[in-house]
Amino acid sequence: MNVIDALYSRMSIRGFKPDSVSKETIDKILEAAMHTPSWGNTQPWEIFVAAGDALEKLRQTCLSNYQKELPVKLEVPAALSFPPALKKRTEESTAGRMEILGIKREDKNARKIMSGQNYRFFGAPVVIYLCMDRSLSNWSLFDLGALSQSIMLAAQEFGIDSIPAALLVAYPDEIRAELEIPQDLEIVIGIALGYRDVQSLYSKFRSSRRPLYEVVRYKGI
């Protein structure tokens, strides 16, 4: 698969098969992603991969925390609010998923079950956690973002789908304890990997993209 095909075919999957992904395949994905550029070649990323019993333990713990309504504690703070245009896009995506699932806006219980998919890690057999030293700046966050894209595009080559999600790291204390992540590392983002369950309604929604003319400003070309 070439890069253009991978960019067009990749989408955030919220319904995975339980089928395992081999360590050999994960190694190949990560080895390719290691070619991601970074500021001054700092390569600031530290990567922790959870699968099998370790991931299942985290899955049950995080889902239980969510059901108990324990507060989310992201180590990279979330935005307090979005500008109106951005807020509209995220609301439209949520509404699109709810429509496919047949969830009415006023059905709070069904909406909670839908949100709970985040804490089940969407049923994925693998979650990759990206971390960086706490002393680093937003520039290194940019590098980890680039690495995230590299991981997800490389995964496409092997028929592996993905979703990056902040709520995969909603309970960092539990993740840190299970995966033995040092305290000097900040847990930035999680990327769920696995094989798409094409029968799942959670896999049916594909979000829209802004047209080029709305985003790009040219001058001198």
Per-residue model confidence (pLDDT) at position 112: 93
Q: In the sheet that 46-51 helps form, which strands lie side by side, from edge to edge?
A: 46-51, 126-133, 185-194, 161-165
Strand partners, 190: 129, 165
86 within a domain of the structure (yes/no): no
Within a domain: residue 138?
Answer: yes
Q: Can you tell me whether residue 62 is helix, strand or coil?
A: helix
- Residue 46 in domain: yes
- pLDDT tens digits, one per residue of 186-202: 999 999 999 999 999 99
User: Residues of the chain whose pLDDT is less than 50?
Assistant: none
Residue 83 within any structural domain of the chain: no
pLDDT for residue 137: 95
- pTM assigned to the model: 0.94
Of 56, 24, 6, 26, give the one whose Cα is nearest residue 193.
26
pLDDT tens track for 63-82: 999 999 999 999 999 999 99
Tally of domains within the chain: 1
Q: Are 98 and 111 in contact (CB under 8 A)?
A: yes
Q: Is 93 a domain residue?
A: no
Q: What is the pLDDT of residue 165?
A: 96
Question: What is the CATH number for 198?
Answer: 3.40.109.10
Q: Are 182 and 73 in contact (CB under 8 A)?
A: no
User: What is the predicted pLDDT for the residue at 61?
Assistant: 97
Distance of CA 95 to the CA centre of its chain: 19
Other C-beta atoms within 10 Å of 30: how many?
17
> What pLDDT score was predicted for residue 1?
85
Residue 171 near residue 186 (C-beta atoms within 8 A): no
Residue 124: domain span: 3-78+119-204
